[in-house]
Amino acid sequence: MTLWTRLAPPAALVALFSILALISRPAAAQPVDLELVLAADGSGSIDEDEFMLQRRGYAEAIASRPVLAAIAGGRHGAIALAYVEWAAPDSVHTIVDWTVIRGPAEAADFGARLMAAPRVARGYNSISEAIAHSTRLIETNALQGARKVIDVSGDGPQINGRPLPLMRAAALNAGITINALLIRRAGGGVPGPRGEALGEHYANEVIGGFGAFLMTVEGEANFAVAIRKKMVQEIADAGPTGAPPGTFGTETASLTAPRR
């Protein structure tokens, strides 16, 4: 005990210790109704026109009246949103980091930052690393979402990276549900890894968790409408996310990014 604490009046000591307790107390996580990562395909199969159409579709959907109404209808009236673009295993990037959206101003700002950001993802499809990166974002943020969702959109299958089942299981065990938006191209596009239809690949190996769903859109022209409907469904859903306990056993995969 210091000389000051021996001589200070009791009231001063109480005030001092109260201040020290407040300083040392960790900041409480910010509560939101949903933590949502939008993980969009930025791979080589997306040309520049399609790329900008895709980003514009997300920006417009986030600021749309139906999405803002769904946000306002939640318990906290707020969601946390992050935007990721994925391509090769070593090219998965957070384009717009976590942003809490309560109304039009935050939504418009998110959309503006998304449209202004440069294109950085390169190479070909690693859905597994997109899921791993998105899971890390959710696991390491300073938010407390009642629900946690990764929303994968793409026009091709898993090609590269760590095993998709392992990264998917790690996300589901972390309490995260994975939904997907499949962009179907004229002529059917590239099939799944074993020659199956791409929709079958996404339904069986990409999406998962409570309430998981797959939505298919025919070409980029209808993308904005599809993503708006999808986001409304994800925001309005009040059910739990993630997998039932014990579904994938106790083994957990490392979510550390692969070495570049």
Cα 133 to Cα 43: distance, rounded to the nearest angstrom:
16
Mean pLDDT over the full length of the chain: 87
Domain 30-236 carries which CATH code?
3.40.50.410
Q: Is the pLDDT of residue 10 over 90?
A: no
Number of neighbours of residue 243 by Cβ within 10 angstroms: 21
Q: For 197-223, what is each residue's pLDDT tens digit?
A: 999 999 999 999 999 999 999 866 688
Token duo for residue 220: 């980029």
Q: Is the pLDDT of residue 2 over 70?
A: no
Taking Cα atoms as reference points, which of 51, 116, 58 lies closest to residue 86? Answer: 51
Say what the pLDDT of residue 57 is. 94
Cα 51 to Cα 112: distance, rounded to the nearest angstrom:
15
Helices marked H in the chain = 3-7, 10-24, 48-62, 65-72, 104-116, 127-140, 164-173, 198-201, 223-236
Say what the pLDDT of residue 1 is. 47
pLDDT band at 19 (very low <50, low <70, confident <90, very high): very low
Contact in structure between 256 and 161 (CB atoms under 8 Å): no
